[in-house]
Chains A and B, each alone.
Chain A
Amino acid sequence: MTSLSQANRIEALPDTFVSDRLARRKLRHVQERIIEFVLFLAACVSVATTLGIVVILLTESFVFFQQVSLWDFLTDNQWTPLFADAHYGILPLLSGTLVSSMVALLVAIPLGTIIAIYLSEFAPFTVREVAKPFLELLSGIPTIVYGYFALLFVTPLLQKLIPGLPGFNLLSAGIVMGIMIIPTVSSVSEDAMRAVPMALREGSYAMGATRFQTAIRVVTPAAFSGIAAAYILGISRAVGETMILAVAAGMQPNLTWNPLEPAATITAYIVQVALGDLPHGSIGYQTIFAAGLTLALMTLFFNVLGHMLRRRYRQAY
């Protein structure tokens, strides 16, 4: 009796009620697919950016290398694309980049590693809670401000220690760049050290080792690939750094291995050309893309290396 009345009631419902709901559901389904597609497109923008970088650098450099042979580019020891007697040897820019990065790493790697070990193994909780955000703030300062600091504070200071130091030099730019990179090195290394299981430390303490012995002989070797990844990230940041060098190291290409001299880096050269008024499509315009391609390949190499090392340490435990 009740089932009959229920059946009657369902029949009594107007047809539009059911089909309306079905139609709404169908519409919603279409809507869902559209939204998913739009989100997918947003995710694809990052891939498009990479493709854009590769295509732009390659096509513009291709035009450049039609006029300058790759051999000259890699072996000529003068870089004077804007002079009447034009030479297109990347070596002077490369030496500036490498020397300044070397100075930066000599500052950032020891200090960054010590800070990482200290924060991970020694520091009391409160010190860590204050120091970590502070280091983060340090890495948030605009690089142009660091450039100003290198040129007008560190260089005069160094000139008192090293008489005859020119106003533009790779040393002061490199030191400031190193300080800028410390947070990168220390935070990635510290993450790697904290990922080392507690049991390893406890084992070491149980054998009577002190904190220092545990940190140096157990934790650091166990976290080694992560620490190496931190160093490589630091190198990649140093190589790509622009404004500190453009401001404090001068913009004169100079094939030198002496950090006390002024020199231009790849990045500083790009800035110098961009500041001038080079017509689109001229050889001078294309040189910055060739220089940019060299830079991108260098950082890509370091990034891939760092990525592989980091993946290894992730799998270790």
Chain B
Amino acid sequence: MSEQTTRLESIRALIAAHKRWDLVFATVGVLALMVGVLTFVALFAQMMIDGGPRLSWDFFTNFPSRKPDQAGILSAWVGSTLVMIVTAATAVPLGVGAGVYLEEYAPKNWMTDLIEINVTNLAGVPSIVYGLLALGLFVYGFGFGQSILTAGLTLGLLILPVVIVATREAIRSIPAVIREGAYALGATKWQTTSHHILPYSTAGIMTGVIIGMARAIGETAPVITIGALTFIAFLPAAPLSGDPPAGLFDWVMSPFTVMPIQMFNWTSRPEAAFHQNAAAAGLVLVLMTLSMNALAIYIRYRLRKTIKW
């Protein structure tokens, strides 16, 4: 009798010990997550404390300067915006087109397989290698120079896989019934695609485009590699301004700088005052990328909740 009780108790002790391990691991898991959270908090706090006081209207409307307290990010944010326009104009049509082709049109053959494998591999190429491609091809091969056009095309190619994958996933989630319905009414393939497939997958494609753009706006390495200047104290000529008037698209050939490069330039200087500028620029950059990412996550969340085919 007593032997039985002790055996029962030893089994209970064993179970309790095993359950304790469950608890230990769950705690370790939360702690591991906390490392991420704490890093994020520390990063944000450091930039807020260091760069927060520098954020003022002047910071956005001043050119970079040798005097840290007068320096601003005007040329950087204008440059970033213009580069992003070229990037979007490159990546959206090409990425969506490629995604539609692969999902709706592509026959099952070696060419399609090649394109698919290629897209997967491109997503893993380090961004600086795109910079080298752009340096050899766009800057010297095509003679675009160190211009907004070169940077926009480079970043456009860089985020192409993101847009293609998002487009394909969005299209794949549309049920076949929709296509069959359109075909049954005599629609051609393109009519089906342009009237049904594309409108229904717009939200999904948008998430991919936004995530891609958020990545592109923070990319530094490829833009430095093409030889973008770090000190720019003028803006590209606005269309039709000046004398003689600038053409509508003259700005694409203009030299430029972007936000991350401006931040890199300030970070790599020894003076602490410039580090504050770097922190302020970083804060602006992080807020931009975070809000873009948050928007994408929100759209995806809404999509999952509202669409029930």
- Residues of A whose CB lies within 8 Å of any CB of B are 28, 31-32, 35-36, 38-47, 49-50, 52-53, 56-57, 59-60, 111, 114-115, 117-119, 122-123, 131, 133-138, 140-149, 151-153, 179, 182-183, 210-213, 215, 233, 236, 239-243, 246-247, 267, 270-271, 274-275, 280, 288-289, 292, 295-296, 299-300, 302-304, 306-307
Contacts and interface: CB of A to CB of B under 8 A. Distances in A.
Contacts of A41: 97
A107 to B, nearest CB: 9
B263 A135 contact: no
B32 A111 contact: yes
Given A49-B133, A213-B18, 12 more contacts: A40-B101, A56-B132, A118-B29, A142-B218, A145-B285, A240-B127, A242-B126, A271-B128, A271-B225, A274-B135, A299-B125, A304-B121
A241 B220 CA distance: 11
The 9 closest A-B pairs by CB, nearest first: A240-B126, A118-B29, A142-B218, A42-B97, A56-B136, A39-B101, A242-B221, A43-B98, A303-B124
A38 B97 contact: yes
Contacts of A280: 140
Interface residues of B, number: 92
B13 interface: no
Interface stretch (B36-44, B58-66, B177-185, B243-251): B36-44
Interface stretch (B2-10, B20-28, B233-241): B20-28
B53 interface: no
A133 B95 CA distance: 24
B204 interface: no
Contacts of A57: 129, 132-133
Interface in B252-294: 260, 263-264, 267-268, 275, 278-279, 282, 285-286, 289-290, 292-294
18 contacts: A35-B190, A39-B100, A40-B105, A46-B161, A47-B118, A53-B129, A123-B29, A131-B33, A134-B36, A137-B294, A179-B35, A240-B125, A243-B260, A270-B221, A274-B227, A280-B140, A295-B128, A299-B125
A289 B132 contact: yes
A39 B95 CA distance: 10
Contacts of B157: 45, 49
Nearest to B290: A137
A36 B128 CA distance: 33
A129 B292 CA distance: 19
B263 to A, nearest CB: 5
Contact of B120 (A36, A119, A215, A307): A307
B36 A210 contact: no
Given A50-B118, A242-B220, A247-B268, A43 B293 contact: no
A210 B19 contact: yes
Contact of B219 (A46, A60, A142, A233): A142
A145 B218 contact: yes
A311 B225 CA distance: 34
Contacts of A292: 128-129, 132
B71 interface: no
Contact of A118 (B30, B42, B279, B293): B30
Contacts of A233: 124
Contacts of B206: none
Given A134-B36, A242-B220, A292-B129, A43 B211 contact: no
B303 interface: no
B17 to A, nearest CB: 10
Contact of B21 (A118, A212, A289): A212
Contact of B124 (A122, A236, A295): A236
A122 B26 contact: yes
Contact of A136 (B97, B285, B297): B297
